[in-house]
Chains A and B, each alone.
Chain A
């Protein structure tokens, strides 16, 4: 059988080899450690963003800014490698679709989906494309699909045994059970922003309406729990992060936190890098270069989540 398998003709075999060799040769040449000059502009962007992040985690201040500058200046990145600095798996969105990245850096394309979110304990992923919401295992096995028009911002929340998925469809905010059943309308006037589940008991969803107000509602009953109150008075730290996004305070790629809480991952589009910042136990920064190419994307990929330690 080996001879027969080797005799099978493959279209453009020779050309493919030459194309591949050119790429590999170039990647090998670029692999050599190059002293990099960093302009202060991207550093400033990163620093400002990280100060914003730090503001959500610890008291912001000049010291933090200086520390970040110092860390960025001391280049510790290994741009050719792509392994995660902490346990768990990343969800990444690129022009090619939704990807799962394992800790060792191996990647799996789930399919041509434009958005994705982990289930609360990382056992499943909810993905969406124009007219479909899909729940699947990280390995790619589809559990259920729900046809809906113009699906956006799917977000999965809840406990280990009882979960809900919130999403926007055709300009409406809807909620469906984690098993794909019980789909219902929650609000017909949501803003065009991602909702977020509040951590803790119950299924409390925080989202913004088109009139600018922020609401916290019981997703099962639709009852409004809080509304248009300054975020500090009723939002948890996680909610503050949400409010930060909802209110458009920062447009730097939204950071995601590692499952152990020690690392933050942010996208740094200008440098085409994912940057991992250790937020506990001593500052460290690790960078992954050539992110767009690695995820077959023309536009800069987005880190959609980091979950969960096996």
Chain B
């Protein structure tokens, strides 16, 4: 883990110095989870791609200001999750697409995937985000609270309600 942290800091430093290898290493390391995180919150592959892409572009834009003493992943995940929540809320407000419609997209997904996706989709986006941060990205509730700017109790409560709801549906 410590070695991975050193590698990441080295990649950030290289990117800040203008070496493309640095940004490529960061992208290869973090894209899969950033994209998956966005997808599990918004349930729309195209939107997830936009969201993860924007997060990386924001990283590029703010590279010079990035503090190398801090890990890159949480910073990126914070952007991804907040934008994914915003996007889902905006879609709900627009009424342009129902979540159930979006769920029809992954036709090739297996039965387990569909049931888990379906169960996730039934949760409010804020609960989905907390579940994904905890169980895909493996942040602690305290870290999630810090990432999302929420009280720890709120995170715990969303986790508990989200998991209860998932259990009921699965």
Contact call B32/A109, Cβ cutoff below 8 A: no
Q: How far is it, in angstroms, between the C-alpha of A27 and the C-alpha of B64 when the chains are bound?
A: 14
Across the interface, B90 reaches (CB within 8 A) one of A11, A32, A106, A111, namely A111
A7 within 8 A of B: yes
Q: How far is it, in angstroms, between the C-alpha of A61 and the C-alpha of B107 when the chains are bound?
A: 67
Contact call A28/B82, Cβ cutoff below 8 A: no
Shortest CB–CB separation between residue A141 and chain B, in angstroms? 8
Contact call A28/B23, Cβ cutoff below 8 A: yes
Binds A, one of B2-10, B45-53, B150-158: B45-53
Residues of B contacting A232 in the complex (Cβ-Cβ under 8 angstroms): none
A-B contact pairs, 8 of them (CB 8 A): A6-B36, A9-B109, A11-B45, A28-B23, A32-B18, A81-B61, A105-B58, A109-B90
Q: How far is it, in angstroms, between the C-alpha of A23 and the C-alpha of B58 when the chains are bound?
A: 12
B12 within 8 A of A: no
Additional A-B contact list (12), CB under 8 Å, known A5-B36, A12-B45, A17-B32 = A6-B36, A17-B35, A19-B53, A21-B27, A31-B61, A31-B63, A80-B64, A97-B90, A106-B82, A109-B90, A111-B93, A142-B93
Q: How far is it, in angstroms, between the C-alpha of A106 and the C-alpha of B49 when the chains are bound?
A: 18
A112 within 8 A of B: yes
Q: How far is it, in angstroms, between the C-alpha of A17 and the C-alpha of B24 when the chains are bound?
A: 12
Residues of B contacting A28 in the complex (Cβ-Cβ under 8 angstroms): 15, 20, 23, 60
Across the interface, B94 reaches (CB within 8 A) one of A7, A10, A17, A111, namely A111
A11-29 contacts to B, CB under 8 A, are 11-13, 16-17, 19-21, 23-25, 27-29
Contact call A11/B106, Cβ cutoff below 8 A: yes
Across the interface, A7 reaches (CB within 8 A) one of B39, B108, B113, namely B113
A153 within 8 A of B: no
B129 within 8 A of A: no
A274 within 8 A of B: no
Q: How far is it, in angstroms, between the C-alpha of A80 and the C-alpha of B110 when the chains are bound?
A: 42
Q: How far is it, in angstroms, between the C-alpha of A9 and the C-alpha of B96 when the chains are bound?
A: 24
A110 within 8 A of B: yes
Contact call A5/B61, Cβ cutoff below 8 A: no
Q: How far is it, in angstroms, between the C-alpha of A97 and the C-alpha of B86 when the chains are bound?
A: 13
Interface centre among A2, A5, A19, A111 (most CB of B within 10 A): A5
Contact call B40/A23, Cβ cutoff below 8 A: no
Shortest CB–CB separation between residue A205 and chain B, in angstroms? 28
Residues of A contacting B61 in the complex (Cβ-Cβ under 8 angstroms): 27, 31, 80-82, 105
A71-117 contacts to B, CB under 8 A, are 80-82, 97, 105-106, 108-112
Contact call B57/A27, Cβ cutoff below 8 A: yes
Contact call B87/A109, Cβ cutoff below 8 A: yes
Across the interface, B135 reaches (CB within 8 A) one of A5, A8, A112, namely A5
Contact call A9/B136, Cβ cutoff below 8 A: no
B145 within 8 A of A: no
Residues of B contacting A4 in the complex (Cβ-Cβ under 8 angstroms): 112-113, 116
Across the interface, A81 reaches (CB within 8 A) one of B50, B62, B109, namely B62
Shortest CB–CB separation between residue A128 and chain B, in angstroms? 14
Contact call B113/A24, Cβ cutoff below 8 A: no
Contact call B89/A2, Cβ cutoff below 8 A: no
Q: How far is it, in angstroms, between the C-alpha of A189 and the C-alpha of B35 when the chains are bound?
A: 52
A259-307 contacts to B, CB under 8 A, are 296
Question: 1/0 per residue B107-121: CB within 8 Å of A?
Answer: 011101100110000
Contact call A20/B62, Cβ cutoff below 8 A: no
Residues of A contacting B112 in the complex (Cβ-Cβ under 8 angstroms): 4, 7
Shortest CB–CB separation between residue A129 and chain B, in angstroms? 9
Q: How far is it, in angstroms, between the C-alpha of A109 and the C-alpha of B108 when the chains are bound?
A: 31
- Chain A, Cβ-Cβ closest to B115: A4
B144 within 8 A of A: no
Shortest CB–CB separation between residue B72 and chain A, in angstroms? 14
